[in-house]
Chains A and B, each alone.
Chain A
């Protein structure tokens, strides 16, 4: 960039600074927009890394008795893939989106605690660095490197000193501890910002649903990350101080770990999924040209999901020998969660009903999301159905289910969010042709891989096996599953190229390319460091609608 863009004269020096100055600027920044984009960029980078790990896993499983990676290498791959995808892709994308958008959507200057915000980002990045560094440093100074191989939920006592020698498990523990601190600081910031810094007139029930959902997610993080941290500390005590929390050889309890982990682990699914809902709840109304149907029902349903999700964790443990009463309780609570989830799906449908749906890229992603999330919800009911789950748990059916939730559900919404807000963040549109290739290829690849993946589970294929013998009807299904990965890789490559290219050459976006209604579209694209010169008056949930349609504003109907 040689000269400053004449349309965005503010806060831009005439000569672009050197790369060192710019990197230094990133290191010391406390600007919520820069941090948000750093979160998202790091998360997309780890998405590619962990995605390539998954590709090696699928290469190994494409054919029976394949020998591409050794068993231990395979076990490390799925452990690091799972850990990285949940903690270093999902969590930072959530943090990044909320960082970038929450202040803009409520008309604030920045997050409530900018320095804490920067601290959170760096804790996340160091956590991720610890995980990947384990490949080089894990067994300690004398040994050869190796990453953790205990699975992403690391069931005791496999993590004990007796079964996990060296330090690979310690790297795993520490990377979660460190990044957990980052997630908590980001969560406290979102809540403080949303509750304390809304522009005049924006009551809680006029907050964009995106902000509402991020507030709920942040509150959930407060409740669920401490048990995870506690469990990690107990594990460290077991491993280094001779504790016996999980050491079954000295009377410890393997089941205790499972409870601790899933008290975190299940709400975590919603911590990742609700931000997807948040994107969809902004995108679907704008591209249907109607307000969200049942705003207060959506807020209520989100809160319900958050509460109920705290009481369902043991549905991950139906096969571990709970009493029939325990199994029945967690079956009921798990099935109950489908009610608020159903309310959301129906509200999105009703928002589209009677609208004029514009099939732009963000909307296409959200339509794919609706279809896929419905299936993910239905397989979720199958997994909540305890006797059925006795078969399905720990098989490829469950693997297909949660990838359906996190890719078919969350990631498609995130893609939608990227297409929707990229113009705001950069001032440039993403290329539509490349975008269509990305969405189409990824959609095809996703369905080839994960639709097919359900069936080996029904045919008795357990998860986390590094290979299998032919003859059980798994061969072709696994081959198709692996072929789908090729489409996904090409699709992601299209997205990456589109992001890089459009940053420089994309069509100019203008302030409000989608004719949208929330406050972030009232400022320039990209927004100046101080966000708003003047914040428009807020008299309803859609302040920009009110500005654009003074003859029929929303606040008349509130």
Chain B
């Protein structure tokens, strides 16, 4: 890895500044200083904003305590240090004082009391929100190591990328997530949109997000879930006003697949012949046992739904960007890009590989 000296120096300065800012104030340096897009100090939407405001209060209280106690410590250590010119006498022996003990018991109790009140209010505000009728409902299922995303009201199934509409503060349209796990415990966390909620098998959890700015938001699985916990990334794509409906229409089971089928079944060019051959490869190997392609006999549930594979930004739950080269590398041997994942090397010949990738590229 190469470092640009100037930018790394700037980064050091920024890191130090951020560290001290953490202790000192609710300064907005976090909001615009960081290049990270998973910064909890750049909230978007009501639940994240509520947490952010509360966080700043907690940081301020902690900063005040820090300054006072460190001040006392530094003063005591410098003022009462042993000096060379000391007379060798022991200092006055003081055993304690009930009044002083009482003071530094009661004052912290008051601080804690105030903090608990504010905290309880924020907990309730975020956790007990009631979904409005217009809210989008999504079911997120954690798998080792990818996310299944279902829109029960819309009949859409996808993976690893959660598409939601932007919410207009005048007409809120939050997204409520039902969290389920197919195997072990995971945790769903998009730092800019909300705090994390664990995804636990045999337990129904829920959370909500309400992004107000269109864009792509990143996150990771935040509960250790086995070998590839590191490569279990999430993306939330927030569509501008009106465009979410277009995305839903494009994802409908019967929208795109038919054309794939038509192209595959009635080859009219060399490319189409390759696609058809690739389709044959797909359906003659065990790909179909794990993956679903709508409108075909492939209806496996163990791996991600591939019906609209090419509409996704990444492969392998964020293991690689979804480009034709990476797609080829992925199918060639998923263990190279994501060692330990449950998709095996299918041992295809180079020709079969070319054909299969051609076919997969038509799944858009």
Chain A residues with CB under 8 Å of chain B are: 63-64, 70-72, 75, 149, 151, 155-158, 162-163, 248-249, 251-255, 288-291, 293-297, 319-321, 323-324, 327-328, 331-332, 335-336, 338-339, 342-343, 345-347, 349-350, 352-359, 367, 370-371, 374-375, 378, 381-382, 385-391, 393-395, 451-452, 454-455, 458-477, 480, 549, 552, 554, 557
CB atoms of A382 and B62 under 8 A apart:
yes
Q: Can you list 7 contacts pairing A with B, beta carbon distance less than 8 Å?
A: A252-B202, A335-B119, A343-B108, A357-B76, A394-B196, A459-B40, A462-B229
Contact with A along B189-221 (1 / 0, CB 8 A): 101001111101111011000000000001111
For B62, the chain A residues whose CB sits under 8 A away are: 378, 381-382
Contact A459 B122 (CB under 8 A): no
Task: Determine the distance from Cα of A419 to Cα of B34 in the docked complex, in whole angstroms.
Answer: 43
Q: Contacts of A371 on B, CB cut-off 8 Å?
A: 70, 73
Contacts of B59 in A (CB 8 A): 382
Cross-chain contact B219 with A460 (CB below 8 angstroms): yes
Nearest 6 A/B pairs, CB to CB: A390-B195, A460-B38, A473-B36, A465-B230, A294-B96, A248-B201
| Contact A255:B200 (CB < 8 A) given known A75-B227, A385-B54, A465-B229 | yes
Which range holds the interface residue count of chain B?
A: 35 or more
1/0 per residue, CB under 8 A from A, across B161-195: the answer is 00000000000000000010001110101010011
Question: Is B226 a contact partner of A319 (Cβ separation < 8 A)?
Answer: no
Given contacts A336-B112, A343-B105, A353-B80, contact A387 B195 (CB under 8 A): yes
**Contact at A290–B94, with CB atoms within 8 Å?**
yes
Which of A254, A472, A552 contacts B203 (CB under 8 A)? A254
Q: B259 at the A/B interface (Cβ < 8 Å)?
A: no
Q: Are A382 and B198 in touch, CB under 8 angstroms?
A: no
A-contacting residues of B (Cβ < 8 Å)? 1, 8, 11-12, 15, 18-19, 22, 30, 34-41, 50-51, 54-55, 58-59, 61-62, 65-66, 69-70, 72-73, 76-77, 80-83, 86, 90-97, 100-101, 104-105, 108-109, 112, 115-116, 119-120, 122-124, 126-128, 144, 179, 183-185, 187, 189, 191, 194-198, 200-203, 205-206, 218-230, 318, 339-340
Which listed residue, B11, B83, B101, B144, touches A343 by the CB 8 Å rule? B101
> Which B residues are in CB contact (< 8 Å) with A454?
19, 22
| Cβ A356 vs Cβ B22 within 8 A | no
A349–B103 Cα distance when bound, in Å, is: 14
A378 proximity list for chain B (CB < 8 A): 62, 65-66
In contact, B1 and A64 (Cβ under 8 angstroms):
yes
B8→A476 contact, CB < 8 A: yes
Question: Are the CB atoms of A552 and B101 closer together than 8 Å?
Answer: no
The chain B residue with its CB closest to the CB of A331 is: B119
Q: Using CB atoms, name the residue of chain A closest to B100.
A: A350
Known: A155-B184, A321-B200, A350-B100. 7 other contacts (CB 8 A): A72-B227, A157-B184, A290-B94, A328-B119, A328-B120, A390-B51, A472-B35
- Whether A382 pairs with B229 at a CB distance below 8 angstroms is no
Q: A335-B112, A378-B66, A475-B1 are in contact. Are A297 and B96 (CB under 8 A)?
A: yes
- What are the residues of chain B within 8 A of A290 when measuring CB–CB? 91-94
With A151-B224, A356-B80 as contacts: A385 and B36 at CB distance below 8 Å: no
For B88, the closest partner residue in chain A by CB is: A356
A149→B76 CA distance, assembly (Å) = 47
Q: How near does chain A come to B289, taking the closest CB pair, in angstroms?
A: 18
Point out the residues of chain B lying under 8 angstroms from A346, CB to CB. 104
B261 to chain A, nearest CB (A): 36
How distant is the Cα of A556 from the Cα of B97 in the complex, in angstroms? 17
Contact assessment for B82 and A357 in the assembled complex, using a CB-CB cutoff below 8 Å: yes
Task: Pick the contact of B93: A327, A394, A552 (CB < 8 A).
Answer: A552
Contact B197 A319 (CB under 8 A): yes
Of A293, A336, A386, A466, the residue contacting B123 (CB under 8 A) is A386
Q: Which residues of A have CB within 8 Å of B104?
A: 342-343, 346
- Contact assessment for B203 and A255 in the assembled complex, using a CB-CB cutoff below 8 Å: yes
- Docked Cα-Cα span, A288 to B81, in Å, equals 8
A151 to chain B, nearest CB (A): 5
Please determine whether A319 and B195 come into contact, CB atoms closer than 8 angstroms. yes
Contact B196 A390 (CB under 8 A): yes
CB distance from A484 to the nearest CB of B (A): 13
When chains A and B are docked, how far (Å) is the Cα of A11 from the Cα of B314?
73
A467 to B, closest residue via Cβ: B230
Q: Hey, which chain A residues are within 8 Å of B76, CB to CB?
A: 349, 352-353, 357
Most chain A CB inside 10 Å of its own CB: which residue of B12, B50, B54, B196: B196
**Are A355 and B224 interface neighbours, CB within 8 A?**
no
Contacts of A354 in B (CB 8 A): 80, 91-92, 94
Task: Report the bound CA distance from A161 to B108 in whole Å.
Answer: 48
A324-B127, A388-B58 known; A357 vs B77 contact (CB < 8 Å): yes
Which residues from chain B contact A323 at a C-beta distance below 8 Å?
127
How many whole Å from A475's CB to the nearest CB in chain B?
7
CB distance from A168 to the nearest CB of B (A): 13
Decide: B108 and A338 in contact? CB cutoff 8 A. yes
Q: Is the CB of A358 within 8 A of B82?
A: yes
Shortest beta-carbon distance, B151 to chain A, in Å?
22
Of chain A, the residue at the smallest CB distance from B81 is A357
How far is the CB of B203 from the nearest CB of chain A, in Å? 6
Contacts of A71 in B (CB 8 A): 227-228, 230, 339-340
A64: B residues at CB distance < 8 A:
1
B70–A374 contact, CB under 8 A?
yes
Contact, CB under 8 Å: A72 / B54:
no
Looking at the assembled complex, report how far the CB atom of A249 sits from the nearest CB atom of chain B, in whole angstroms: 8
Task: Please indicate the chain A residues that have their CB under 8 angstroms from the CB of B202 in the complex.
Answer: 248, 251-254
Contact B54 A387 (CB under 8 A): yes
Give the distance in Å from the alpha carbon of A391 to the alpha carbon of B93 in the complex. Answer: 47
User: What are the residues of chain A within 8 A of B40 when measuring CB–CB?
Assistant: 391, 458-460
Q: Across the interface, name the chain B residue whose C-beta is closest to A293.
A: B96
The reply to whether A293 and B222 contact each other, CB–CB distance below 8 Å, is: no
Min CB distance, B320 to chain A, in Å?
10
Residue on B nearest A460 in the bound complex, by CB = B38
* Cβ contacts under 8 Å, B122 to chain A: 386-387
Q: A295-B95, A319-B197, A395-B222 are in contact. Are A352 and B39 (CB under 8 A)?
A: no
Q: Which B residues touch A345, using CB under 8 A? A: 69
A158 CB contacts on chain B under 8 angstroms: 184-185, 224-226
Contact (A387, B126) CB under 8 Å given A158-B184, A452-B19: yes
Tell me which of B76, B221, B340 has the highest count of chain A C-beta atoms within 10 A of its own C-beta.
B76
CA distance A255 to B223 in the complex (A): 13
Chain B hits for A72, CB < 8 A: 227, 340
A387 near B185: Cβ-Cβ < 8 Å: no
A156 CB contacts on chain B under 8 angstroms: 185
A352 touches B77 (CB 8 A): yes
User: Once the chains bind, are B185 and A359 in contact (CB under 8 Å)?
Assistant: no
Q: What residues of B have a CB within 8 angstroms of the CB of A458 in the complex?
A: 22, 30, 39-41
* Complexed CA–CA distance, A27 and B183 (Å): 47
- State whether B109 touches A355 (Cβ < 8 A): no
CA distance A349 to B72 in the complex (A): 8
Min C-beta distance of A483 to chain B, whole Å: 12
Contact between A387 and B51, CB atoms less than 8 A apart? yes
